[in-house]
Chain A
């Protein structure tokens, strides 16, 4: 893992009292109900929670894609609500759906992305070459994205989020729906990106992923953060509280935190 700058310096991500209410025709849904977060520069931060917990909503607020009902959020020191364009220059975003334009080629997509971040045509094209090499998509670069596999699309999405060398990379469930081999490839990619100094904020439903990749995690449930710490701290805390003989797994921590038990039928699909 890259060197983590301890507190004092500007945090990579800082949110205070973040709230999101969705107004639907029938009711107001309180998707996020007061989230405080601080992610240090250089960290890989895991944001965990069951389906519907508010992970995507939080990420979408942090990435300027969703208006903030109340509270504040800063990315690399920039207020995302006050100065969204400057915040956008500091962050890379790869969302849950691996949103790509299927009718373009991988290279065209990356060049376009570079152009939208103010690069000249030749700079954008050089950057596209670099990134295609980084995510090992050189061979497929000039084929339409329509024909890419799920893993290739994820890697391209990752590359497109890196075009402008962001300080902070936001990933919403980067490996959901991938086969195990592709998942490992994405993990390797993320480690490499982090080693180069990029802070990573990722959401996941896979506890093993969090355990393998993340320096620190937070667990969100029902729009509120219910646990926060390093995986080791969280395991130790549960062990002590329950008086267990051996360290529990992160699965146990998650089930404990979200009030779900191992009773058949009531277990959240959380891992593997």
Chain B
């Protein structure tokens, strides 16, 4: 595990030294938050919209932005670069567990995810969003968003390991469109049209989004929280297993 952490620190340095890749992951979600709220806030006044639980529409939209911030997976592109450049082979020639090699960047994505999510939530607090579930809720909120960042970059990293191509990895990243938009991202699930509701119900991101939302709008609603963490953890385990399998059979 020491080795995974050493590689994680390296990946964090890498992220820190490429602000051009880091800054969009913060500003694009903020942009969507401001635009979406600006366009729809008058349709959903907080007084007469029960699903807002007394807060503004921005509070309802914040989870979408958190998930968007967690769905860039730019680390996978660094991995492709590293495969093409040959440094990946240097790492493979060291006697460390193959798991440590794939975990390095995932750890750093998790740490990055914590900072990104904290920044977005704190900005939200400044603009009047309240975390109804309190300090513990804040921790769970940031933790779940960061966990999703790990899951998504795990997916991207698997594609990178499989295809070793920047173009293919970039294309695979586009899956975040259906994942993020076939969700109850504008209104709760029960207000969606029937086809959308079905799509959202089978989309795992829905449960992560609903967990995040319940933490902001309601309280510690454990059923929703556990659902969100459960789905994200299960997918995380699948992605990790996939990554380890791919690097073990890497030729």
Contact surface of A with B, Cβ cutoff 8 Å:
63-67, 84-86, 88-89, 91, 93, 95-104, 108, 112-113, 115-118, 144, 160
Contacts and interface: CB of A to CB of B under 8 A. Distances in A.
Contacts of B87: 99-101
B86 A93 contact: no
A64 B251 CA distance: 10
B171 interface: no
Given A93-B90, A160-B90, A85 B95 contact: yes
A108 B13 contact: yes
A101 B13 CA distance: 11
Closest 6 CB pairs of A and B: A99-B86, A97-B86, A85-B95, A99-B87, A88-B95, A116-B94
Nearest to B82: A101
Contact of B3 (A102, A103, A116): A116
Interface in B74-122: 82, 85-96
A65 B3 contact: no
Contacts, number: 71
Interface band, chain B: 20 to 34
A98 B96 CA distance: 21
A34 to B, nearest CB: 19
B86 A66 contact: no
Given A64-B93, A89-B95, A108-B13, A99 B6 contact: no
Given A96-B86, A102-B85, A113 B251 contact: no
A113 B93 contact: no
Interface string B1-37: 0110011001001100110000000000000000000
A63 B94 CA distance: 10
Tell me if B's interface is mostly helix, strand, loop or mixed.
Answer: helix
Given A96-B86, A104-B10, 14 more contacts: A66-B251, A86-B95, A88-B94, A95-B86, A97-B86, A100-B85, A101-B87, A108-B13, A112-B10, A116-B91, A116-B94, A116-B96, A117-B95, A160-B90
Interface of B: 2-3, 6-7, 10, 13-14, 17-18, 82, 85-96, 251
29 contacts: A65-B89, A66-B251, A67-B251, A84-B95, A85-B95, A89-B95, A93-B89, A93-B90, A93-B93, A97-B86, A98-B86, A99-B82, A99-B87, A99-B89, A100-B85, A102-B85, A103-B18, A104-B10, A108-B10, A112-B6, A112-B10, A115-B2, A115-B6, A116-B91, A116-B95, A116-B96, A117-B94, A144-B17, A160-B90
Contacts of B251: 66-67
Contacts of A112: 6-7, 10
Contacts of B85: 97, 99-100, 102
Contacts of B82: 99, 101
B84 to A, nearest CB: 8
Contacts of B7: 112, 116
Nearest to B81: A102
Nearest to B15: A103
Nearest to A86: B95
Contacts of B86: 95-100
A220 B2 CA distance: 41
B16 to A, nearest CB: 9
A243 B67 CA distance: 78
Among B2, B7, B85, B93, max chain A CB count under 10 A is at B93
